[in-house]
Amino acid sequence: MKKFVNRKVLIILFFALLLAGAGVYYFFFYEQPKDDNKSYDEAQSAVESRNYSLALTKFKEAINEDPSLTDAYIQAADILLNRNQDAEAIELLEKGIDFANDPSKIKAKMADIYAHQANFEKALEYSDSQSKPGYLALLGRMDEAKKEAGNISGGDAYSAFLQAIVNYDNLEKARGYAQNAASTSDDTKYTILKEKLDTLEEAEDNKVMNYMEIANIAIQYDEGALAIIILNDVRTTNKYYEGSYIYEAYVRLSYGDYVKALELLKSGGIYAPNNQDIPKLMAEAYYEQNDLTNATKYIQKSLSFAQPANDVKELAFQIYMAGKDYTKALQQAEALVKASPNNYVYARLKSKAQLALGKNAESEAFLSTFIEGHANSLTNEQRAVLLALTAFAQYGQNEKKEAKDSFAQAEALFSNSSEVSYYYGLFYKGQGEEVTADEYFQKAVDMDTTGEIALLAQVELAK
């Protein structure tokens, strides 16, 4: 299921998107091999063209040519993870520990994988001094976490940033580390932390809110595990403050620790029964566990509040679609489009709900109007996806020639769209052309940058 934890709820939680903006991302964030490695170069070219199957093959060849090539292991693992092939990614990385020129990066990657499987014990095994306190906190071993937090060291800006966070209970000391981080790097997150700490007033009455401000920044910049140490102290100081439960539940959701997240949300709900964020997050946790009954129950409660936020409506759409209540899904999509008529994502959702209900003519008309009205703002890929949906609407009206023409236009606009390839595969499958359909499904897998379409295409390939 689609992860909603990456969306904005109370705070912004950043996760590096695997393979997103692939060419630029790899160029800047992975060091290049010192010696010429033809397979590695070919892998990079394949990534830039979104041919991830070829890229994976070439990265593996590059590793065979040069087993010390750290970033080849990591990039290959990213592709496997994007396809939900976690076990194979871990197996590949384990080999890298023995042969890569920087095994610490391999171990950090493995720790991150295990952590996002909510397997915090295994994550701890591969952790370094900077990540160990967070994993201990995720395991609920707070005394050890605090002790290890005191051992974080290093002279770089990132280490100073972490030290500022873990010294949340000593503002003077935290400010010193934040100043050091901000003065040695132009990364805005260090400046934001410094400026925030400078605004806090050191008084006993302000302690809880000060802690929450620092925890907020930690979560905002992907240090949610460290934030748990702070949030635990907030509850020790004031167990009735629901924000600490909600923030930690948010972090737990990001790691897939749904059981603990629900436990926290239920506790927070006792102290704040009218909090609007708790039922939304509970709906999300149940949804991710495929418990659509409880997910529906809590999303309906969340929708019952006055003026529910768009992220609530989006989650409601996904839950209703998963439960095949397409009428309610369409209601949410229409509300989103009404609130943001120029939003491509919402237009896409509305069309999907219309198609699910068999409202093909309405979907085609809506898409035609939207495409025409946003001709100058849609990217080629967005336009291609909407044309693919148009093709489905036409096919649903038995307009097979028009549907094929729309698909052809979509491919011509953006040939590397995994979503267009997936829809094209469904179209050919409906025509009984299984071989061609499978070619498009495989293409969808090869080019996917999110993992969502690849999973759907793999299901079709397995049938």
**CA–CA separation, 448 vs 454, rounded Å?**
6
User: Can you tell me which residue has the tokens 């036409």?
Assistant: 394
- pLDDT at 2 (0 to 100): 36
Q: What is the pLDDT of residue 26?
A: 38
pLDDT tens, per residue, the chain with 463 residues: 333 333 333 332 222 222 333 333 333 344 455 457 899 999 999 999 888 999 999 999 999 999 999 999 999 999 999 888 999 999 999 999 999 999 999 999 999 999 999 999 999 999 999 999 999 999 999 999 999 998 898 889 999 999 999 999 999 999 999 999 999 999 999 999 999 999 999 888 899 999 999 999 999 999 999 999 999 999 999 999 999 999 999 999 999 999 999 999 999 999 999 999 999 999 999 999 999 999 999 999 999 998 999 999 999 999 999 999 999 999 999 999 999 999 999 999 999 999 999 999 999 999 999 999 999 999 999 999 999 999 999 999 999 999 999 999 999 999 889 999 999 999 999 889 999 999 999 999 888 877 789 889 989 999 8
What pLDDT does 1 receive? 37
Helix, coil or strand: residue 307: coil
Q: What is the pLDDT of residue 3?
A: 39
Which residue, chain included where needed, has tokens 């029964």?
Answer: 273
What DSSP designation does 205 have?
G
Q: How many domains does the chain have?
A: 1
pLDDT at 35: 55
For tokens 């491509």, what's the residue? 344
E-state strands within 288-384: none
CATH at residue 39:
1.25.40.10
DSSP codes, 132-195: HHHHHHHTT-HHHHHHHHTT---SSHHHHHHHHHHTTT-HHHHHHHHHHHHHH---HHHHHHHH
**pLDDT attached to residue 352:** 97
**Residue 396, domain member (yes or no):** no
- Measure the CA angle with vertex 58, ends 57 and 63; round to 5°: 100
Q: Is residue 409 part of a domain?
A: no
Place of tokens 């701890």: 124
pTM of the model: 0.86
Give the residue from 95, 121, 98, 94 showing the smallest Cα distance to 110. Answer: 94
Is 392 inside a domain boundary?
Answer: no
Residue 67: which domain range? Answer: 22-117
Rounded to whole angstroms, the Cα distance separating 87 from 200 reads 45
pLDDT score recorded for residue 415: 87
In a domain, 70, yes or no: yes
Q: Is residue 42 part of a domain?
A: yes
- Here the contacts of 237-241 (C-beta below 8 Å, separation 24 or greater) are 237/207, 237/208, 237/211, 238/208, 239/271, 240/271, 241/208, 241/212, 241/271
Q: Which residue has the tokens 């002279």?
A: 155
Do the Cβ atoms of 234 and 228 come closer than 8 Å? no
Look at residues 192, 154, 198 and name the one whose alpha carbon lies nearest to residue 175. 198
CB contact at 8 A, 130 and 155: no
| 106, part of any domain | yes
**Number of residues that make up the chain:** 463
Structural domain contains residue 236? no
CA distance to 11, 130, 161, 307, per residue, from 193 (Å): 15, 18, 8, 32
The amino acid sitting at 181 is A
Q: Which of 179, 183, 181, 127 is nearest to 159 (CA)?
A: 181
17: DSSP letter: P
Query: Tokens for 44?
Result: 């990079």
Q: Which two tokens mark 431?
A: 């025509």
Look at residue 295 and tell me if it is in a domain.
no
* pLDDT attached to residue 357: 98
Could you count the other beta carbons within 10 Å of the beta carbon of residue 439? 15
